[in-house]
Chains A and B, each alone.
Chain A
Amino acid sequence: MQFDLLINAIIAGLMLGAFYAAVTSGISISFGMLDIVNIAHPGFIILGSYIAYIVNVQLGADPIVIAIVALPAFYALGSIIYEIYYRSFEKHGQDSLRGLAFFFGLLFVTEVVLNMVFGVDYRSVNVPYIGGSLTIGWMEFPIRMLVPAVVSILMFGGLQIYLSRTFIGRAVMAVSQDPQALQLMAVDPIRIKRIAFSISLATASMAGAFLIIIQPVIPSSGREYIGRVFAICVLGGLGSLPGTLIAALLIGVIESITSTFYGPSWAPAVSFGLLLLTLAVRPSGLLGR
C-alpha cells in the first residue's frame, strides 16, 4: 500500500463524506428527529440538481448560489408536504406504513415529472472550477469535490447551532421525545414538526447543487442514495447531527479507500458491512438516542 495513495484516498474520502453528510442531513432531521420516513428525500435532492442545472444553463449562475436562492421555495414545499402528511396520516396515527407509501409515491412522481421535462439524458452544470484542482505537495484536492465539501460542513455547523442554541431548535430535539409535554411549554408540536420538516427539505436544495457539481445527473440518480443515506443516518445514531457527520465521513473514507485499493464494486459491501457490525455492537448507532 503506497503511502501517498492512501493519504489521497483519505482526502478524497473526507470530501466525499462531507457531501454524503449534506445528502443525509435532511433524512437525519426527518427520520432521525421527527420519525417521518421520508424516502422521497433523494428525489427532492435530484429536483434540486435540476433546478441548479436549468438556471445554470440559462443564466450561468453558480449552482450553490442558485441553491441558496431556491432555499425558501424548498422550505415552502416542505411545509406543504408536511401539512398533507400530517392531515392524511400522522393525525390519525397511520404514519408508519401508509406514510411510507405516501413518500414512495412522492419519490415516484418526482422522478416521472423530471423524466418528462428533462428526459433521461445525463445533465451537468458549467462551472469554471469543475476541472481544476488544488495541489499541496503530493496531496490533491479536486475543486469540484472541495467546494461542495466545504459548503456542506458550513451548512452542517449552521444546522447544529440552530438546533442546539435556539428555542425552536431545542423544541425540534424535544418533539419526538414527548410532544404533549411540549404543549405544556406553550409550544405547538405540529408547528415544530412542520418547521423541522421544511428545514429538512430545504437541505435538499443544497445537496442537489452539490451533487450536480460532483457528477452528471439523471432523474433516477436519487435511487442510488436511498440505501446509503439511511445507512449513514442509522450508523450515526438517530436524532444526532454530529453522529450523522461522523458516520458520513467514515463511510466516505472507507468507500474511497476500498475503491482505490480493491475496486469500486467492493465499496458498498464494505460500507454496509460496517453498518451491520456497528449495529451489532451499538444498536443505537455511534451517537444515537
Chain B
Amino acid sequence: MAANTNSISIEGVDAGYGLVRVLDNVSLRVNSGETVALLGTNGNGKSTLMKCIMGWARPSKGRIVAEIDGEKHDLAGLSTEQIVDLGIALVPEGRRLFPRQTVEENLLLGASRPKARAHIKTNLDFCFEIFPRLAERKSQLAGSMSGGEQQMLALARALMLNPRILLVDEPSVGLAPLLVSRTIDAIKQLKDHFNLTVLMAEQNFTQALRIADRGYVIVHGKIEFEGNSADELNNNDLIRQFYLGM
C-alpha cells in the first residue's frame, strides 16, 4: 500500500435523527485521487452522510474507514476534531464561516492545527493566487462578503487545514450560474494542486459531473444508482428523465 493513498470507504451505514432513519444501508467508496459526486435532490440524505463522516452524526450500523497516507482509521468513536486532524476537511452546507472575523482571520483559523501551521505561508499564497478576490478583501469581515466570495473563502479555509481528503457539501447552493461553474472549476484546481481525494455532494448534476470521475445517486437515503464514469451517469435513462430534464 503506497504511503500517499488517501481514500474513504463507507460500508453499510444506517443513520438518522432520533427515531427517524435517514440513511439506509449506504455503501460508497472514494478511491485515492478520485473526485466522486454524491448526487441527489433536497432532503435525500447527502448532508447526513457528510455529518456521519465528520462524526457529527453517529451511524447506528456499518462502518466508515478513512485511509490517510496509507494508514487506515476506523472513524467510529473519534471526535470531529480528531477526524479533521487526520486530514479530512469538510466545506459544510451553508459555509459556516466566522462572519464577525476578517477573511484573513478565517483563513488562519483553518490553519489552527499544528500539522497545518507549518504550511501556512505556501497554502495562503496558493489560496490568494487561485482566489485573488480573497487577497483584495483580506481585512474585510467575512459576513459582509457576497455569496460567491463566501464560498471561495469556505473552500480556501478548508485548504488551509492542509487536508488529504476534501468533502464539499453542495457548493452550488445559492450561487448564480456563472459562479456555480467557477466554484466547481476552483474545486478541480485545488484538487489537482494538492492531489486531494474529493467527495462532493450536489444536486446540480450537470455541473458536478463536469469534474467528477464517478458518482452515486442517493434517493430517500438509499444509493439507487452507481455510475462508474461521468458518461455512465449522464447517459443513464433514469437520471436523464428525472434530474437532467431531457
Which A residues lie within 8 Å of B54 (CB)? 184
Give the Cβ gap from A174 to chain B, nearest Cβ, in Å.
5
Check A180/B96 contact, CB under 8 A, given A173-B101, A174-B101, A185-B84.
yes
Contact A186 B84 (CB under 8 A): yes
Instruction: For residue A188, give the distance in angstroms from its CB to the closest CB of chain B.
Output: 5
- B92–A185 touching, CB < 8 Å: no
Picked from B56, B81, B97, the residue with its CB within 8 Å of the CB of A186 is B81
Kindly identify, within residues 128 to 170 of chain B, every residue whose CB is under 8 Å from any CB belonging to chain A.
157-158, 161
Contact A183 B84 (CB under 8 A): yes
Residues in A with CB closer than 8 Å to B101 are: 170, 173-174, 177
Known A-B contacts A173-B101, A184-B92, A239-B100; A167 and B112 likewise in contact (beta carbons under 8 Å): yes
Minimum C-beta distance from B109 to chain A (A): 5
Categorize the interface residue count of chain A: 10 to 19
The answer for the CA separation of A186 and B101 in the assembled complex, in Å, is 18
> How many residues of B are in contact with the other chain, CB < 8 A?
28
User: For the complex, is B212 an interface residue (Cβ under 8 Å from A)?
Assistant: no
Within 8 A of A (CB), among B7-54: 54
Most buried by A among B98, B105, B116: B98
CA distance A184 to B81 in the complex (A): 7
The answer for the CA separation of A289 and B79 in the assembled complex, in Å, is: 30
Instruction: Answer whether residue A171 sits at the interface, using C-beta atoms and an 8 A cutoff.
Output: yes
* Complex partner residue of B108 from A167, A184, A188, CB under 8 angstroms: A167
Q: Do B99 and A173 touch across chains, with their CB atoms under 8 A apart?
A: no
B44-68 interface code vs A (CB 8 A; 1 in, 0 out) = 0000000000101000000000000
Find out whether the CB atom of B96 lies under 8 angstroms from the CB atom of A187: no
In the complex, A181 has a CB within 8 A of chain B:
yes
How many angstroms from the CA of A184 to the CA of B112 in the assembled complex? 10
Chain B neighbourhood of A187, CB < 8 A: 81, 109, 112-113
Contact, CB under 8 Å: B100 / A183: no
- Whether B96 and A185, one on each chain, are in contact in the complex, defined by CB atoms closer than 8 angstroms, is no
Asked if B171 is at the interface (CB within 8 A of a chain A CB), the reply is no
B98 touches A181 (CB 8 A): yes
Least CB distance, B148 to chain A, in whole angstroms? 19
Q: In the bound complex, how far is the Cα of B111 from the Cα of A81, in angstroms? A: 30
Closest CB in chain A relative to B75 CB, distance in Å: 14
B80 pairs with A183, CB closer than 8 A: yes
Q: Which of B80, B84, B97 has its CB near the most chain A CB atoms (within 10 A)?
A: B80
Residues of B within 8 A of A181 (CB): 92, 96-98
- B220 at interface, CB cutoff 8 A: no
Chain B CB within 8 A of A178 CB: yes
Determine if B89 and A177 form an interchain contact, defined as CB atoms under 8 angstroms apart. no
Task: Give every chain A residue within 8 A of B161 (Cβ-Cβ).
Answer: 185-186
- Nearest Cβ on chain B to A169's Cβ, whole angstroms: 10
Q: Decide if B81 touches A188 in the complex (CB within 8 Å).
A: yes
Within 8 Å by CB of B89, from A170, A180, A184, lies A184
Docked-complex contact A178 and B98, CB < 8 angstroms: yes
A residues within 8 A CB of B113? 185-187
Cβ contact of B90, chosen from A171, A182, A184, cutoff 8 A: A184
Q: Return chain B residues, CB-CB under 8 Å to A173.
A: 98, 100-101, 105
- Bound complex: CA A180 to CA B55 (Å): 11
- In the assembled complex, the CB of A32 is this many whole angstroms from the nearest CB of chain B, namely 12
A167 and B98: CB pair below 8 A?
A: no
Q: B222 — which chain A residues lie within 8 A by C-beta?
A: none
> Chain B contacts of A180 at CB under 8 A?
56, 80, 96
CB-CB nearest 4 A-B residue pairs: A181-B96, A186-B113, A186-B84, A183-B80
B residues at A contact (CB < 8 Å): 54, 56, 79-81, 84-85, 89-90, 92, 96-101, 105, 108-113, 116-117, 157-158, 161
Q: Other CB < 8 Å A-B pairs besides A167-B108, A174-B109, A183-B80, 18 of them?
A: A167-B117, A170-B109, A174-B98, A174-B101, A177-B98, A177-B99, A178-B96, A180-B96, A182-B109, A183-B84, A184-B90, A185-B109, A186-B113, A187-B81, A187-B112, A187-B113, A188-B79, A188-B81
A-B contacts, 9 listed (Cβ < 8 Å)? A170-B108, A170-B109, A177-B98, A180-B96, A184-B54, A184-B80, A185-B84, A188-B79, A239-B100
